[in-house]
Amino acid sequence: MQRTRSGEVPGSSAPRRGAGLQNLGNTCFMNSVLQCLTYTPPLARFLLRGGGGCKGACTLCALRDLVSSSYAAPKRALAPTTFVGGLQQLSVSFKAGRQEDAHEYARCLLESLRESACAWGTGSAPCFVSQIFGGRLRSRVQCTSCAHTSDTFEPVLDLSLEVSRAKSLEEALGDFTAEEALDGDNCYACPACNRKVRALKRLTVERAPSVLSVQLKRFDPWLQRGKLDGHVEYPRALDLSPFTSAGVEATYRLFAVLVHAGSTASSGHYFCFTRLPAGGWLKCDDSTVLRASERAAMSQQAYMLFYERAPPPAPQAGPSAAPPTPRKGLGFFRRRRRLRPSP
């Protein structure tokens, strides 16, 4: 396992903070996203072990080198020149020296990481980027006449939620997964009824990701100021199960909050709060990385939120469970415990 100079990796008993990132000309949007990824526990652990990449100049290699350098030199401010130089490779709409939307950059960066990881990987198993961030949505349409259902599925790397009416993250998720009536000019062509009928449509989370990335859609060009400034409450621990297709247990813990200060997407300033695996919060503001209180991290006008899924509780044997019987000459077989990410 590759370790930092101090011999520590995120998820160990006493990890240290990483480095700051220099602002190379309106790159705060980029720096805040890179810091959130640096403190994404399963991603950081994988990269610090030297995993992934082509061992050359792909996006995954660049992120691995940045994360390794960050934890090796926590008192420095690194220059993310590789990422600035690769802006237009992510999207032709990006331009060096111009303020960009942090969420749009995050989506393009994750997609590029996924492509790099899949190109590097072998076999049919999903690449590790998809394993960490990848989820799946189910859109179900149900005929109100015959109850026939039709499902379609969409892979996603994040969720974008409307917050114009929502006062909390849970409320925004409720709006996102609320039933929608298909009637009038928007009637559903039911294949079972062989006619257009009224139907109900609902979007739910079919497969919950290991890391949940959420955008709170604050920017609206139709608003006078272009941005929704209201505070949206977000919890430390999020229960996603009411918004899943089967109501499966899916509990998450917050580890990063990305903030936009300003009135429009093309102006203002981005910074973020990140949680250390051993506990405690940091405020990452370009070159400056300082300790922060949890109260400060929880009271921001968040633009993006990052949650890590908690492992399901281990099943407990009932009081009547019989102890295992050793076999002669073999002793006890101990089942190897599956390693889980540290909170």
Active-site residues, by number, are 28, 269
Of the candidates 23, 31, 27, the residue with the CA atom closest to the CA atom of residue 98: 27
Tell me phi and psi for residue 31, to 5 degrees. -60, -40
Of the candidates 260, 245, 274, the residue with the CA atom closest to the CA atom of residue 302: 260
Helix ranges restricted to H, 121-261: 128-133, 169-176
Contact call for residues 130 and 121 (beta carbons, < 8 A)? no
- Helix axis angle, 28-38 relative to 59-72, nearest 10°? 80
Of the candidates 203, 204, 180, 194, the residue with the CA atom closest to the CA atom of residue 148: 194
Give Cβ neighbours of residue 335 (< 8 Å, ≥ 6 apart).
Answer: none
Bridge partners of 343, per DSSP, are none
Residue showing tokens 């111009």: 98
94-127 per-residue burial string, b: 16 or more CB within 10 A, e: under 16: beeeebbbbbbbbbbbbbbbbebbeebeeeeeeb
DSSP 33-76: HHHHHHT-HHHHHHHHTT-SS-SSSSHHHHHHHHHHHHHH-TTS
For residue 133, the Cα-to-chain-centroid distance in whole angstroms is 6
Q: How far apart are CA 174 and CA 178, in angstroms?
A: 6
Contact call for residues 31 and 21 (beta carbons, < 8 A)? yes
DSSP 110-146: HHHHHHHHHHH--SSSPPHHHHHH-EEEEEEEEETTT
